[in-house]
Amino acid sequence: MLNWELQRQMKAILLALPFLLIGSVQAEGLDDTFHLIKQAGGLTQLCTSNPRITECKYAIGKWKPQELERVKAMAPYCYEQCEYDQYGFVKSSSGGAEFPMVVTKDFDGSSASRGVEFFMYPVALTTYKYDGCVGCSLTKRYPNRVDIVKGNRHFIQLPRLSRGTFYMTSEAREYAMKSSRSSEDMVVRLSFNEDTETRRISKKALTAYSLMLKSLKYDLVP
């Protein structure tokens, strides 16, 4: 009987250990803890268990449901996807809660059926290169590395969260907001194993992204 009870207690401790480790994170920013997002099950779960993380403390998300509802009430509502270069809360056909997003494209000059698509979230960027034609299915290639080009020799590397999805560091967010106030696009370098492409996120898309960050108070993050 004693052995069974001991085994039960040990099993409970082992099951709780990942959450205890996540919960022990000190008051740091997401730049220090982004690698825990996937382990926690998402940003909401990470912020719920670690409200002292800087972005969780200052910004608005599902971990602050009442404040989030007020923001959603003032923002456009879209089904599946908003119009390009527009900030809004998107409702997926698969269900679930609405989430904020900006979608934009950088078309190839030779054909509108080829280019790169960007899905911009408050702290993440999903991107892929697409190639389509009449009567054939669309093919997608996901980069294994994404860098934001900041000046001639300075790059902001975005850490990879999953296939095609990268974490927008605080420096990248700040630079995107700064670029939205200028007359220039933001240059992004995508690396696909052996080849590299340089693409642009338009000022219009950056303005929408900046509006999203300000609406959710990410601009208040020190």
DSSP secondary structure of 35-86: THHHHHTSHHHHHHH-TTSHHHHHS-STTSHHHHHHHHHTS-EEES-PPTT-
Asked if 149 and 175 count as a contact pair (C-beta separation under 8 A), the reply is no
Tell whether 108 and 205 lie within a shared domain.
yes
More confident residue, 137 or 10: 137
- 20 or 26, which is more confident? 26
pLDDT at 9 over 80: no
Confidence band, pLDDT 50/70/90 cuts, at residue 27: low
Q: How many domains does the chain have?
A: 2
* Nearest in space to 24 (alpha carbons), one of 2, 39, 9: 39
Q: Are residues 97 and 196 in the same domain?
A: yes
On whether both 104 and 205 belong to a single domain, the answer is yes
Please report the pLDDT score of residue 148 as a whole number: 97
Among 83-87, 105-109, 130-134, which range has the highest average pLDDT? 83-87
* Structure token pair of residue 25: 């994170």
* 71 pLDDT more than 50: yes
Clarify whether residues 100 and 1 are in a common domain: no
Q: Looking at residues 54-58, what average pLDDT do you find?
A: 97
Contacts of 43-49 with CB under 8 Å at 24 or more apart are 43/123, 46/22, 49/19, 49/22, 49/23
- Nearest partner of 30 among 60, 61, 51, 55, judged by Cα: 55
Q: Final residue of a domain: which of 41, 58, 75?
A: 58
Which range has the worst mean pLDDT, 65-69, 77-81, 101-105?
77-81
Query: Both 176 and 98 in a single domain?
Result: yes
| pLDDT surpasses 80 at 190 | yes
Same domain (yes/no): 85, 108 = yes
86-106 mean pLDDT: 91
**Does residue 45 share a domain with residue 21?**
yes
Tens digits of residue pLDDT in 139-162: 899 999 999 999 777 999 999 999
| Residue 64: how many other CB atoms lie within 10 Å | 20
Q: Is 98 in the same domain as 197?
A: yes
Query: Are 174 and 90 in the same domain?
Result: yes
What whole-number distance in Å separates Cα of residue 121 and Cα of residue 209?
Answer: 8
What pLDDT, on the 0 to 100 scale, is given for residue 133? 73
Choose the final residue of a domain: 9, 31, 58.
Answer: 58
- Give the torsion sign (CA, 69, 73, 76, 80): positive
* Same-domain check for residues 93 and 176: yes
Single out the residue in 10, 29, 58 at which a domain terminates.
58
Considering the domain architecture, whether residues 196 and 147 belong to the same structural domain is answered as: yes
Q: Which domain holds residue 188?
A: 66-220
Whether residue 38 is found in the same domain as residue 86: no
Is 80 exposed, middle or buried (CB count within 10 Å of its CB: 0-12, 13-18, 19+)?
exposed
Q: What confidence score (pLDDT) does residue 11 get?
A: 45
CA-CA distance, 157 to 168, in Å (whole number)?
9
